[in-house]
Structure 1
Amino acid sequence: MEQPSTSTPLTGAVRELASHVVSALTGGDHSRLSAGPAVTVGDDDLGLAAVRVLGADVLLPSVLHRTPPAPVDLAVCEKAVLAYPPGPDASPTSRWSHWAMTRTLRELGAPAAVAAPGEPQPDAGWLDDLPWQALTHQLSLLAPLAVPDADSAVARAAARRTVDVARGFVRAVRRRGWLQAAGAGRWLAVLDDVPETLGLDAGLEFVSLMGGDDPRVALHLHAARFPRSAAAAAP
C-alpha cells in the first residue's frame, strides 16, 4: 500500500504510528529477553490501515534490536495482513509491502496461517528497467525491505544499481523531497559500493535537519544510521 500524499485521517494515523516506532527505536531499553513497548494505536479500521501503510516498519524495533515484539503489536500486524491482502490488480509495490510484512511476522514467530513458510517472493524484474528517477521513487516506497542482512529480490535489484540510487538520493535532496531522500538513504546504508564522493553520512544529517520533523523521515533515518553505527562500534 502506497503512502498517502494528502492530509487525511489516515495520514495522521500513519504519522502517529511512525512517531511511536521512532520512540521505541530511540528509547534505549532493548532487552533481548523481554518485549519492548507497544507502538500500535489500535485495531480499528483506521489503525489497521495505518499499519498496512507503514508495513513491516511497525516491527522495526524488534528487527533491528533482535528483541521480541510486544504481543499486541504482533497481533495487530497479523490482523492487518489478513484484513488487507493485495488484490488481483495490486501494484508490485503493494505486493512487495505485503510480502515484507509476512516475512517479518514469520521471523518473529507469527502463526503459519498469517505467514506461510516458503511464500514465494513477488517478481522484481520490473525494477531493472526503470529510469533511475522512478527506481528511487519505488525503492523509497519499499524502504522497509532495506534492513541489514535481509535478502530479497528487491535488495538484489537495488544492489545492481547503487549508483542510480545515489543519483536519486541527491535529486531528492535537491528537490526537498525529504521522505524520498530518507528512503533512498536507507537503501544506500545497506548497499555495497556506494560512491565515497556521495558523502552519505553528511547527506543523512542534512535530511534530518531539514525534514526530520516528519516521523516517517525520522524512522527511515534511524534505520539508515543503525547499520553504520553498528559497523563503527564493531571491534
Structure 2
Amino acid sequence: MFDLNGDGDVDSEEFEKVATLIRQQTSIGSRHRDHANTGNTFKGVNSALTTFFFGPNLENKLTIEKFLEFQHQLQKEILSLEFQRKGPGENGNISESDFAELLLAYAGYSQKKKSRMIKRVKKTFRESNLGISKEDYLKFFHFLNNINDVDTALTFYHIAGASIDQTTLKHVAKTVVHVNLSDHVIDVVFTIFDENMDGELSNREFVAVMKNRLLRGLEKPKDTGFVKLIQSVLKCARETKPALLDI
C-alpha cells in the first residue's frame, strides 16, 4: 500500500502521501480537521514516525523487514503496558481475574455478562496463588494474533465431530501458531468461556470474542483506525524508546 513505485521499499515521501490519504478517509481524521490544534497533533505524530523510520534527514528506506520488526516490538510494548497497569504482585504475576478483564475488554458483552464471567473466574481460582505471568500473557496474545488460522483449524475439528476441549486448544496453538500455552492459562480461558462447565468451548463464540479483542475497538466501518494506531505508536515510542531503538 505504501510502496507507490513498486521498488520493494518505502521512502518518506511515499509514506507521507499514503498516511495523509488514509487520514482524510477516516472519521477520526475528519473530526480532527475541524479543530484548530489538529495540525500540530498530526505534525508531531508524523515527525516522530518519519524520523524513526527514515532517519533525521529522511534519506533512509523503510524495508518490510524493519516495519514488521517495528510492529512486533510495538505490539509487545503495548501488551506489556497493559500487563503492568494491572499491578503485578511480588511474584510478577497478575491475578486470573485481571487476565479475564483484559481478555474481555473489547468482547462486546454487556457489563452484566462480563461481571458474571469475571466472578466465575474469581470463584474458581480463589485459593490459587499462581496468577498469570507476563511471559504467558504475551504468549497468549501471540496466539490471538493468529486467530484466523486458529479459527480455520478449529472449524475442521468441529466438522470432524471432535469437541474443542483443553487438549485440542493446546494442540492447535502448538501446531498452528507454534506457541506452547500453559495448562493454567488454558484452564483460565475455559473457565471464562465454558459457561455450562462441560469442558468444551463454543468455537463460534470464543473465536468471535478473540477477534474483537484483537481489533481493540477499531472495527467500526468508515474508519480504518489508522489515526488511533499512529497516535498509540507515538505514545509508545516516547514511553518505551529504549526498547524500540533495539529494532
Which category describes the TM-score, using the shorter chain as reference length?
under 0.3
Question: TM-score, length-normalised on structure 1?
Answer: 0.22
